[in-house]
Amino acid sequence: MKPFRFVPDNTNISFMKLARPGFYVSIAAVLLSVVLFFSVGLKYGIDFKGGTQIQIRTMDGPADIDGLRKTIAGLGLGNSELQEFGRPDDVSIRIETQPGGEDAQQNAINTVKKALGDKVDYRAVDIVGPKVSGELARDGALAILLSFAAIMVYIWLRFEWQFAIGTVATLVHDVALTIGLFAILQLQFDLTIIAALLTIVGYSLNDTVVVFDRFRENLRKYKKMDFDEMIDMSLNQTLPRTLMTSISTLVALISLYVFGGEVLRGFTFAMIWGVLIGTYSSIFIGAPLLSLLGAYVDRAPTPGPGDNAQAEIVQP
């Protein structure tokens, strides 16, 4: 059987020419995301805001959401929000944090249960008290920052500082755009999205590192070549791999998105977006940044672990 090439061989796309407009678009998008984050803001789930989230399934056919909304609103529990959850008979109910400390949250859920009676199946009940939600929010932000720092150190050790700056810039770009998307679409932002962000960071990095690795290799091989030309060459050489991996990861993710159930949908959505953005950013952000910082790259880097192989490479 003859393998089918999804990505043609020996592409010769001048990414560096495309990079400039791409760079501007990205900067604008990142700025927009930051503005959105501070103006519109994220729609935080109860993990970070505290409150109660109840998932019910009505036992007598499709749920009467308007009726339920009226019932819940009449309970005097402050702001509440109802929406269909994947199926017409599944409803997700969210109630804001009740004033009066941790016990007040427990009383709220009892009030709701009394009001809804026993015609519904309580599929899930989550109550996050004000104390815990504050901690989760802090831990989530901390985790993202910590991952940036750890990765920067790793890349710095394995490569050089220019590469570290390039990677972290792509990561900030990816995380910012994902947050921006969640702000525009007002999708619920909860703990699983933090998990998704960290995975996106890992994935995007994976892509960037592969490109950088190839670039470093070429740097040793072709000592005289023009910098931008070399970046283009490295990107073209790794392009089949970059796209193949993205496609196969997307295949798995789309299967999760479609068949994995409502609970995971927010997470998978963030991941799909992250893979797309991560693939884009390693080509259009990470590599061009290297070109900007290129003047400082040492052309005779200290040998790395893969280097003993270099001696016998046949120069084309």
Pick between residue 27 and residue 124 the one whose CB is nearest to another protein.
124
| Helix (H) or strand (E) segment spanning residue 279 | helix 265-281
Q: How far is the CB of 248 from another protein (least distance, A)?
A: 5
The answer to whether residues 198 and 150 touch, using CB atoms and an 8 Å cutoff, is no
Interface with another protein in residues 148-177 (CB under 8 A): 150-151, 154-155, 158
**Backbone phi, psi, residue 265, to 5°:** -60, -40
Nearer Cβ to another protein (193/297): 193
Residue 314 tokens read as 């046949």
Site string for another protein, 64-103 (x = CB under 8 A): -------------------------------------xxx
C-beta of 187 vs 264, nearer to another protein = 264
> Which residues lie closer than 8 Å to 233 by C-beta, 6 or more apart?
218, 225
Q: Which of 132, 123, 137 is nearest to 97 (CA)?
A: 132
Angstrom distance (rounded) from CA 181 to CA 285: 19
Nearest Cα neighbor of 183 from 39, 26, 42 is 42
Interacting residues with another protein between 119 and 138 (CB under 8 A): 121-129, 131-132, 136
Of 26, 33, 55, 282, the one binding another protein by CB under 8 A? 55
H-helix or E-strand spanning residue 83 = strand 80-84
Q: Which is nearer to another protein, 36 or 190 (CB)?
A: 190
Is residue 107 a contact residue for another protein (CB under 8 A)?
no
DSSP state of 85: -
Q: Among residue numbers 275 through 314, which ones bind another protein (CB under 8 A)?
A: 304-306, 309, 314
Integer Cα distance of 29 and 13 in angstroms? 24
**Sites for another protein among residues 174-203 (CB under 8 A):** 191-192, 194-195, 198-199, 201-203
We find the least distance from the C-beta atom of residue 164 to another protein, in angstroms, to be: 12
Considering only CA atoms, which of 177, 203, 182 is closest in space to residue 282? 203
- Binders of another protein: how many residues, by CB under 8 A? 86
Q: Which amino acid is at 72?
A: I
Among 32, 34, 84, 147, binds another protein (CB under 8 A): 147
Shortest approach of another protein to residue 20 CB, angstroms?
27
- Could you tell me the smallest distance in angstroms from the CB atom of residue 167 to another protein? 8
- Alpha carbon distance 300, 306 (integer Å): 15
From candidates 22, 84, 220, 260, binder to another protein by CB under 8 A: 260
Candidate list 21, 35, 255, 299; residue touching another protein; CB under 8 A: 255
Of 32 and 111, which CB lies nearer to another protein in the complex structure?
A: 111
- Based on CB atoms, which residue is closest to another protein, 3 or 74? 3
Cβ-based nearer residue to another protein, 32 or 264: 264
Residue with tokens 């495309």: 18
Hey, what amino acid is at 246? S
Residue 138, class by beta-carbon neighbours within 10 Å (0-12 exposed, 13-18 middle, 19+ buried)? Answer: exposed
Residue 33 or 52: which CB sits closer to another protein?
A: 52
Q: What separation in angstroms does the CA of 111 have from each of 56, 64, 84, 274, 287?
A: 15, 19, 21, 40, 57
Within 224-253, which residues bind another protein (CB under 8 A)? 237-238, 240-241, 244-245, 247-253
